[in-house]
Amino acid sequence: MAEKKKTTVGTLGRVFITSTFNNTLVTITNAKGDVVAWGSSGSAGFKGTRKSTPYAASSAAEVAVKKAVEKGLKTVDVYVKGPGAGRDAALRAIKNGGLSILSIADITPIPHNGARAKKKRRI
């Protein structure tokens, strides 16, 4: 099996929070874009409908932040995506976890009229 390559972690990084209706994913990268740490509501031990709660999102963020701080990360830019309940809770957990937040950006994809809608249902 190939050995893991060590990623260099500076003091500046990025946090990507993807919050869906069913789960919350927190990915922390260095300035170059290499993943330093990650966490999800599922990996934090929540199952089923409890995964989509704000508490589960904050637990996922805490786990990821703890790993990143151990590797030497100090300041982050935060990018939030998705409509889920865990957005604000994950942000709070990042702030309380010891990382200082430089900026917060919402990168939720919004369709500029999107794909064609399905045909109307006839009964």
The predicted pLDDT at position 8 comes to: 79
The predicted pLDDT at position 9 comes to: 84
Q: Is residue 118 assigned to a domain?
A: no
User: What's the CATH number where 94 sits?
Assistant: 3.30.420.80
Q: Alpha-carbon distance 18 to 3, whole Å?
A: 29
Indicate the SS3 state at residue 119: coil
Per-residue pLDDT reduced to its tens digit, 62-80: 999 999 999 999 999 999 9
Q: Which helix (H) or strand (E) holds 29?
A: strand 24-30
Q: Is residue 121 assigned to a domain?
A: no
DSSP 8-class letter at 21: S
Q: What is the mean pLDDT of each run of 10 residues along the chain (123 residues)?
A: 77 96 96 95 95 96 95 96 94 95 96 91 90
The partner residues of 78 in beta bridges, in order of sequence, read 15, 104
Q: Is residue 25 assigned to a domain?
A: yes
Range(s) of the domain holding residue 29:
12-106
Q: Alpha-carbon distance 18 to 39, whole Å?
A: 11
